[in-house]
Amino acid sequence: MRTGASMTYELDQIEMREAYAGTLIEIAQKNSEVIALEADLMSAISTNKFKAACPDQFVNCGIMEANMVGVAAGLSLTGKIPYLHTFASFATRRAFDQLFISGAYAKLNIKILGSDAGVTSEHNGGTHMPFEDIGLVRIIPGATVIEVSDAAMLASMLRQVEQIYGIHYIRTIRKKAVKIYDEHTDFEIGKGKVLREGNDVTLIASGIMVAEALQTADILAKEGIGAAVIDMFTIKPIDRDLIIKYAARTGAIVTIENHNCINGLGSAVAEVLAEHAPTRLKRIGIDEQFGRVGTTDYLKEYYGLTKEHIARKTKELLGNR
Amino acid sequence: MGERRNYLEKFAGEIRLKVLKMLNHRGFGHYGGSLSIVEAIAVLYGEVLKIDPANPDWPERDYFILSKGHGGPALYAALALKGYFSPEILYTLNDNNTTLPSHPDRNLTKGVDMTTGSLGQGISAAVGVALSHKLSKRGNYTYTLVGDGELNEGQCWEAVQFAAHHKLHRLVVFIDDNKKQLDGFTKDICDPIDFQEKFNAFGFYALKVNGASVQEILSAIEEGKQQMEKPVAIILDSVKGQGVRYLEEKTDNHHIRPSKEDQQAIDAAIHELELTLREGII
C-alpha cells in the first residue's frame, strides 16, 4: 500500500480484465471444479485467454443472462464453483430474480463479476450504465458485495471468494485502474482499508472513486484540512466498526461512489451512522439520474465525481459546522 | 411390463390420494397442476430415478427439478411415500414454520433437489446440473418438469437452446401440457401451437405421450435414453385436475378453495380412490 502525499496516481500495468482472466486461469488450474461462464462478452473481458488455457472449464452461454445465472445455480448444486461475468447491468438488473431465487434463496455458491462499473461503461451509454447494481445485490439476503479499486485487489478478491461459500458480487471496471496497492497487500473481506489519516473529515470511497478521494485529500491538505481516506471495498457486509471509529475521530463523513446515492455505499454508511453514531454526512454519487454516453472524464465531470467537485462539497459540509 | 405397470399405477394412485388429502387438510391449493403431473412423478420416483431416500444428498444420484414449483404437493407426496420423510408431515403443507411450502425449497425438504416457483428458473438449473454431469463425464440423468403455461417465460427457451447446443442428451424435460394456465386456456393467452414441433425445431428429441399413462411415460423415457446427441422432451398430454373427474371438468381449477359442492366431490373422489387402492383394482 502506498499512502501519503508522495502518491503519484499512475495507472496499473495491467487492465482489470487481464487481471480477471489471468487470476481465474490460476484459480481454475488448481481447482477443476471452477467453471467460468460468459454471456457473449468473452472478448470484452479477455476470457478468451481463459478458454484457451482451460477449455474444459469454460462455457460461453450466449446472450442469455437469466439462463446463465440458472446454469450457474445448477453447477453449484453439483459442487462446482461457477464464476460468471457479464456487464454489471445485465448481471443484476436483467437477471435479478434469477440471482435472488435460484442463487441466493436456494443458498447456492456463485461468484459474479459485474463489469463496466458506473460511468466507465462510457460509450455504451445509459442502457449499459450500472448505477444501481450494488443496491440490487445489497438487498439480497446473505449476498456479499465488493467493489474493487485496482488489479491487486481484484486478484485477491477472486482468490478469496473461491474459498467462501455463497453469493459474491464483485464490481469492477474493465480497463486500467489507478494503482493503489502492491501485489502483496492483504485484504480482508468486510474490513475497510485506511489509506490516509486525517482529523477533520473522513472520505469513504470505493472503486475508481478511491483514487479520486486520495487526490481530493491532497487538495484539502493544501487548504489545511486533514482528510482521512478509507477504501470501503466491501460494501456488504460494511465495516461498521471502522465507520464508527472515524465518525468519532473526524466528526464528518463524505461518501463517494460511482453509483446511485440510493442503496449504494453512501446509504450503507448512512445506515451505520444513523443507528450508531449520528454524524454530519454528505453522500456524493449519482443523484436521481440515468446514465448517458461519454468518456469517463466527461461523465465524472457531468455527474460531479471529480476531485474538484468532491473537495468543494466536502468544504460545504465542513462549513455547515 | 404388466407387473411394473400395476405397481406404477398403484403408486400414482397413492400419490394422487395424498395430494388430495394434503390439499383437503390445508383447505386450499394448487389442485389442477399438482394432479396433472401425478403419473409422471410416479414413473420417476417409482422406477426411473437413481436415488437413495436414506441418503438424499447422495452425489451419485439422478436429479429431478420440478420447475413448475406450484406442483409441489405431488412431489412431496412421492417423497413421503418413498420414505424421505414421514407422511404425517404432508399435513403440515403451508403451515406456519412448515418444511413443506407450497413451492419447493431445497433447504427445507429432504429430497427436493432445487428451490423453484419463480417460473422458468428450474429448467435452467436442471440444464446446469446436466452440464455439470457432462463436464465431469458422469453418466447421471437430469429430469425436469415444466408447465405449458410456464413455457410463456422466455428463460425456458434460453435454457432449451443452451441444452440443445451442448448436446445434453442425459437431460429429460417433461412438459405438462394440460392446456390451461391460471387465467384460462393456454391457446387463448399465448397459443403454444405445437410443443412437439417447437422442441424438435429447437434441437430436442421430442415425444408426445398420454400424460395419464404410466406405461407410455415409461416407454418414452426408455426411448429417450437411446438418444446420444440430443436432449429429450416428453410432452405429457395431460388434464388439469387429472384423475378426478369433477376437478377435470371444473373450469377454474388452478388454485382452488373448495366450495361446499367442491368439497363433497373431492371427498367422494378420495373415498373412491381409497376403495380402489384397498381392493387392488389399481
CA nearest B138 in A: which residue?
Answer: A78
Percent of chain A with pLDDT over 90: 97
Region B13-25: what's the mean pLDDT?
97
A105/B121 Cβ within 8 A = no
Q: Which chain B residues contact residue A66 at CB under 8 A?
A: 120-121, 124, 154-155, 158
Number of domains in chain A: 2
pLDDT for residue B280: 77
Region B10-31: what's the mean pLDDT?
96
CA nearest B115 in A: which residue?
Answer: A106
B155 touches chain A (CB under 8 A): yes
Q: Are both A166 and A35 inside the same structural domain?
A: yes
CA nearest B109 in A: which residue?
Answer: A106
Rounded (5°) CA angle A33-A35-A40: 175
Q: Are both A28 and A167 inside the same structural domain?
A: yes
Question: Of chain A residues 51-110, which have a CB less than 8 A from chain B?
Answer: 56-57, 59, 61-62, 64, 66-67, 69-80, 97-98, 101-102, 105-107
Q: What is the pTM for the complete model shown?
A: 0.95
Q: Which chain A residues contact residue B60 at CB under 8 A?
A: none
CA dist list (Å): A75 to B10, B126, B137? 35, 9, 14
Percent of chain B with pLDDT over 90: 96
User: Domain boundaries in chain B?
Assistant: 2-278
Region B221-241: what's the mean pLDDT?
97
* B105, pLDDT greater than 70: yes
CA B66 vs. chain centroid, Å, equals 6
Give the confidence band of A321 by pLDDT, cuts at 50, 70, 90. low
* A3, pLDDT greater than 90: no
Strand arrangement, sheet containing B63-66: B63-66, B142-147, B171-177, B232-237, B205-210
Q: Choose the final residue of a domain: A171, A206, A225.
A: A171
CA nearest A104 in B: which residue?
Answer: B115
pLDDT for residue A7: 72
Q: Which chain A residues contact residue B112 at CB under 8 A?
A: none
Q: Are both A22 and A167 inside the same structural domain?
A: yes
| Nearest alpha-carbon partner for B46 in B3, B103, B7 | B7
Name the more confident of A295 and A3.
Answer: A295
State chain B's mean pLDDT as an integer: 96
B125/A73 Cβ within 8 A = yes
Answer yes or no: is A5 within a domain: no
State chain A's mean pLDDT as an integer: 96
pLDDT for residue A187: 98
Q: Are both A49 and A134 inside the same structural domain?
A: yes
Q: Are both A50 and A88 inside the same structural domain?
A: yes
CA nearest A81 in B: which residue?
Answer: B132
Q: Which chain B residues contact residue A79 at CB under 8 A?
A: 59, 132
Burial class (CB in 10 A: 0-12, 13-18, 19+), B281: exposed
B131 touches chain A (CB under 8 A): yes
Answer yes or no: is A152 within a domain: yes
CATH number at residue A29: 3.40.50.970
Which of A59, A71, A75 has the highest number of chain B CBs within 10 A, making it the mutation to test binding with B? A71
Q: Are both A51 and A159 inside the same structural domain?
A: yes
Do B217 and B43 meet the contact criterion of CB atoms below 8 Å apart? yes
In the three-class reduction of DSSP (H, G, I as helix; E, B as strand; rest coil), residue B59 is classed as coil
- Tens of pLDDT, residue by residue over A142-184, are 999 999 999 999 999 999 999 999 999 999 999 999 999 999 9
Question: Of chain B residues 7-66, which have a CB less than 8 A from chain A?
Answer: 59, 63
Q: Which chain A residues contact residue B118 at CB under 8 A?
A: 97-98, 101-102
Q: Are both A235 and A163 inside the same structural domain?
A: no
B128/A75 Cβ within 8 A = yes
Fold of B2-278: Rossmann fold (3.40.50)
pLDDT for residue B1: 62
Which of B67, B132, B140, B168 has the highest number of chain A CBs within 10 A, making it the mutation to test binding with A? B132
The parent domain of residue A296 ranges over 193-319
- Tens of pLDDT, residue by residue over A287-297, are 999 999 999 99
Q: Please report the number of interchain residue pairs, chain A to chain B, with beta-carbon separation below 8 angstroms.
A: 109
Question: Which amino acid is residue A3, in one-letter code?
Answer: T
pLDDT for residue B158: 98
Region A10-21: what's the mean pLDDT?
97
Rg for chain A (alpha carbons), in Å? 19
Establish whether the linkage from the previous residue to A237 is cis, with ω within 30° of 0. Answer: yes
Region A212-234: what's the mean pLDDT?
98
Give the confidence band of A91 by pLDDT, cuts at 50, 70, 90. very high
Percent of chain A with pLDDT over 70: 98
C-alpha cell at B58: 447422495
- Tens of pLDDT, residue by residue over A130-141, are 999 999 999 999
CATH number at residue A283: 3.40.50.920
* A5, pLDDT greater than 90: no
* B258, pLDDT greater than 70: yes
Which of A69, A72, A106 is nearest residue B114 as measured by Cβ atoms?
A106
Q: Are both A150 and A236 inside the same structural domain?
A: no
Q: Are both A101 and A28 inside the same structural domain?
A: yes
pLDDT for residue B51: 98
Region B130-149: what's the mean pLDDT?
98
C-alpha cell at A218: 491532497
Give the confidence band of B281 by pLDDT, cuts at 50, 70, 90. low
Question: Of chain B residues 160-219, which have a CB less than 8 A from chain A?
Answer: 161-162, 165-166
- Tens of pLDDT, residue by residue over A64-90, are 999 999 999 999 999 999 999 999 999
B135/A73 Cβ within 8 A = no
**Separation of alpha carbons A316 and B70, rounded Å:** 56
Answer yes or no: is A145 within a domain: yes
Percent of chain B with pLDDT over 70: 99
**Separation of alpha carbons B234 and A274, rounded Å:** 57
Q: Which chain B residues contact residue A105 at CB under 8 A?
A: 105, 115
Do A87 and A115 meet the contact criterion of CB atoms below 8 Å apart? yes
**Separation of alpha carbons B265 and B259, rounded Å:** 10
Answer yes or no: is A178 within a domain: no
Give the confidence band of A8 by pLDDT, cuts at 50, 70, 90. confident
A71/B131 Cβ within 8 A = yes
- Tens of pLDDT, residue by residue over B41-77, are 999 999 999 999 999 999 999 999 999 999 999 999 9
pLDDT for residue B188: 97
pLDDT for residue A2: 46
Do A179 and A292 meet the contact criterion of CB atoms below 8 Å apart? no
Active site residues of A: 65
**What ipTM is given for this predicted complex?**
0.94
B114/A77 Cβ within 8 A = yes
